């Protein structure tokens, strides 16, 4: 088994456990980042807080894998606690946000989009996780949030090999908007 970040480091038996844990953290971060990328105001602060708390755990685990450091029991407990928080939040919010209630399944297109070094940026592409969005100070910040969300979905359709659906959705939006 190789390191989850894609660096090619092959793992010792001890490191495999941390690699698996990192994988669990990563997949939760991807799910929350996907929700964040849609730009919904629903539970936006919960989503931001989960990402802000979870992203450093992933970095710590990568660091442990890369340097051969063994994470302390306290550190592992905090990481497991965060995983529990994240799963509880999905259970609580799955009716309002596109997050799965239990088992996480990602399409091939979604998997291809995962940023292995920073899973919390896979969909949003933000420079730093958990950082508040910059205040709208220029024209670029005044993009219609609905159009933006639609573009995200359209992009996923295109990536998933459904360009027709993307085109139709965009056409619908443009004709309604004018």
Scanning 6-14, 24-32, 50-58, 134-142 for contacts with Zn ion by CB under 5 A, the matching segment is 6-14
Q: Contact 25/61 with Cβ under 8 angstroms?
A: yes
> Near Zn ion by CB under 5 A, which window of 2-10, 33-41, 73-81, 121-129?
2-10
Cα dihedral sign, 78-82-85-91: negative
Number of residues that bind Zn ion (CB under 5 A): 4
d(CA 35, CA 121): 11
In whole angstroms, give the CA distance from residue 55 to residue 15. 19
Of 93, 116, 3, whose CA–CA distance to 44 is shortest? 93
Nearer to Zn ion, 5 or 31 (CB): 5
Q: Residue from 5, 61, 64, 129 that binds Zn ion (CB under 5 A)?
A: 5
Binding residue (CB under 5 A) for Zn ion from 1, 7, 91, 143:
7
Q: Is 3 near Zn ion (CB under 5 A)?
A: yes
Determine if 1 is a binding residue for Zn ion (CB under 5 A): no
């Amino acid at each position: 088994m190789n390191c989850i970040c894609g660096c090619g480091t092959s793992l010792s038996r001890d490191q495999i456990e941390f690699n698996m844990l990192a994988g669990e953290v990563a997949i939760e971060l991807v799910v929350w980042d996907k929700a964040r990328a849609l730009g919904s105001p629903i539970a936006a602060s919960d989503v931001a807080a989960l990402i802000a708390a979870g992203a450093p755990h992933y970095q710590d685990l990568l660091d442990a894998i890369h340097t051969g450091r063994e994470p302390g029991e306290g550190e592992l407990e905090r990481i497991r606690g965060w995983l529990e928080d994240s799963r509880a939040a999905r259970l609580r919010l799955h009716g309002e946000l596109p997050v799965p209630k239990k088992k996480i399944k990602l399409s091939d297109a979604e998997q291809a989009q995962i940023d292995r070094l920073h899973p919390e940026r896979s969909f949003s592409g933000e420079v730093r996780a958990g950082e508040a969005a910059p205040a709208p100070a220029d024209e670029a910040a005044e993009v219609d949030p609905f159009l933006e969300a639609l573009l995200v979905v359209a992009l996923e359709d295109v990536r998933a090999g459904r360009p027709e659906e993307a085109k139709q959705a965009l056409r619908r939006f443009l004709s309604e908007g004018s």
